Chains A and B, each alone.
Chain A
Amino acid sequence: DVKVTQSSRYLVKRTGEKVFLECVQDMDHENMFWYRQDPGLGLRLIYFSYDVKMKEKGDIPEGYSVSREKKERFSLILESASTNQTSMYLCASSLIVPSGSSYEQYFGPGTRLTVT
Chain B
Amino acid sequence: EDQVTQSPEALRLQEGESSSLNCSYTVSGLRGLFWYRQDPGKGPEFLFTLYSAGEEKEKERLKATLTKKESFLHITAPKPEDSATYLCAVQAGYGGATNKLIFGTGTLLAVQP
A interface residue numbers (CB < 8 A to B): 4, 31, 40-43, 45, 48, 50, 56, 58, 90, 92, 94-110, 112
Contacts and interface: CB of A to CB of B under 8 A. Distances in A.
B interface, how many residues as a size bin?
Answer: 20 to 34
Chain B interface mostly: loop
B22 to A, nearest CB: 15
Nearest to B31: A102
Contact of A99 (B36, B49, B95, B100): B95
Interface of B: 31-32, 34, 36, 41-46, 49, 51, 87, 89, 91, 94-101, 103-106
Q: Which 8 A-B pairs have the closest CB atoms?
A: A102-B32, A107-B43, A42-B105, A102-B31, A43-B103, A102-B91, A107-B44, A110-B43
Contacts of A106: 46
Contacts of A104: 32, 34, 46, 49
B96 A99 contact: yes
A97 B49 contact: no
Given A41-B105, A100-B94, A48 B100 contact: yes
A105 B93 CA distance: 17
